[in-house]
Amino acid sequence: MKTDINLPSVTSPSLMVSDTGSSFIGEITQETLALTRRLFIQLQRRPSTLIAGIIQPVMWLVLFGALFQNAPQGLFGSTANYGQFLAAGVIVFTAFAGALNAGLPVMFDREFGFLNRLLVAPLASRFSIVFASAIFIISQSLLQAAVIVGAAAMLGAGLPDINGLVAIALIVFLLALGVTAISLGLAFTLPGHIELIAVIFVTNLPLLFASTALAPLSFMPEWLKIVVALNPLSYAIEPIRHLYLNSDWGLNDVVMEAFWGNVSFGGSLLVLLGFAIVALLSIQSQLRKTLA
Amino acid sequence: MASAVLIEHLRKSYGKVVAVKDVSFEVQSGEIFGLLGPNGAGKTTTLRALCTLTTPDAGKVQVSGISVVDHPKLARRRLGYVAQEVAIDKILTGRELLQLQAALYHLPGTAIKERIAKVLELLGLQEYADQKTGTYSGGLRKRLDLAAGLLHSPDVLVLDEPTVGLDIESRIVVWDFLRKLRAAGTTVVITSHYLEEIDALADKVAIIDKGLVIAAGTPAQLKDQVGGDRITLRIREFSHQEEVDKAKNLLANLPFVQEIIINSAQGNSLNLVVTPQKDVLITIQQTLSSVGLPIFGIAQSRPSLDDVYLAATGKTLMDAELAAVANRDPKAEKKQNMR
Instruction: State whether B78 and A124 contact (CB < 8 Å).
Output: no
ipTM: 0.82
What is the least distance, in Å, from the CA of B99 to any CA of chain A? 8
**What residue numbers bound the domain in which B213 lies?**
5-223
Q: pTM score, two decimals?
A: 0.83
Instruction: State whether A14 and B180 contact (CB < 8 Å).
Output: no
pLDDT on residue B98: 96
Q: Which residues of chain A does B51 touch, with a Cβ-Cβ cutoff of 8 Å?
A: 120
Mean pLDDT on A161-179:
94
DSSP labels, B208-265: EETTEEEEEE-HHHHHHHH-SEEEEEESSTT--HHHHHHHHHHHHTSTTEEEEEEEGG
Chains A, B: CB pairs < 8 Å: 137
Answer yes or no: do B252 and B207 share one domain.
no
Answer yes or no: do B157 and B282 share one domain.
no
Residue among A138, A174, A131, A182 nearest A25 (CA)? A131
Instruction: State whether A30 and B106 contact (CB < 8 Å).
Output: yes
Q: Confirm whether B144 is domain-assigned.
A: yes
Answer yes or no: do B99 and B61 share one domain.
yes
Instruction: State whether A19 and B74 contact (CB < 8 Å).
Output: yes
pLDDT one-digit tens code per residue, B248-265: 898 888 899 888 888 777
Answer yes or no: do B25 and B150 share one domain.
yes
Instruction: State whether A2 and B155 contact (CB < 8 Å).
Output: yes
User: Tens-digit pLDDT profile for chain B (339 aa)?
Assistant: 689 999 999 999 988 889 999 999 999 999 999 999 888 889 999 999 999 999 999 999 999 999 999 999 999 999 999 998 888 899 999 999 999 999 999 999 888 999 999 999 988 899 999 999 999 988 899 999 999 999 999 999 999 999 888 888 888 888 988 998 888 888 999 998 888 888 889 999 999 988 999 889 999 888 888 888 889 899 888 888 888 898 889 888 889 988 888 877 778 888 888 988 888 889 999 998 898 888 899 988 888 888 888 777 777 777 777 777 777 777 777 776 676
pLDDT one-digit tens code per residue, A231-277: 999 999 999 999 988 888 888 888 888 888 899 999 999 999 999 99
pLDDT on residue A66: 82
Instruction: State whether B335 and A38 contact (CB < 8 Å).
Output: no
Query: Is residue A10 over pLDDT 50?
Result: no
Instruction: State whether A10 and B155 contact (CB < 8 Å).
Output: no
Instruction: State whether B105 and A11 contact (CB < 8 Å).
Output: yes
Mean pLDDT of chain A, nearest integer: 86
pLDDT on residue A9: 41
Answer yes or no: do B125 and B247 share one domain.
no
Q: Would an 8 Å CB–CB cutoff place B184 in contact with chain A?
A: yes
pLDDT on residue B268: 85
End-to-end CA distance of chain B: 34
> What is the count of structural domains for chain B?
2
Tell which B residues from 315 to 334 touch A, by Cβ distance under 8 Å. Answer: 334
Mean pLDDT on A30-52:
94
Task: Pick the residue of A4, A5, A49 with the most B CBs within 10 A to test the interface with B by mutation.
Answer: A5
Which of A2, A41, A111 has the CB atom closest to B91's CB atom?
A41
What is the least distance, in Å, from the CA of A168 to any CA of chain B? 33
Answer yes or no: do B20 and B136 share one domain.
yes
Q: Would an 8 Å CB–CB cutoff place B69 in contact with chain A?
A: no
CATH code at position B129: 3.40.50.300
pLDDT on residue A93: 93
Query: Is residue A19 over pLDDT 70?
Result: no
Q: Confirm whether B324 is domain-assigned.
A: no
CATH code at position B238: 3.30.70.920
CA distance A283 to A188: 9
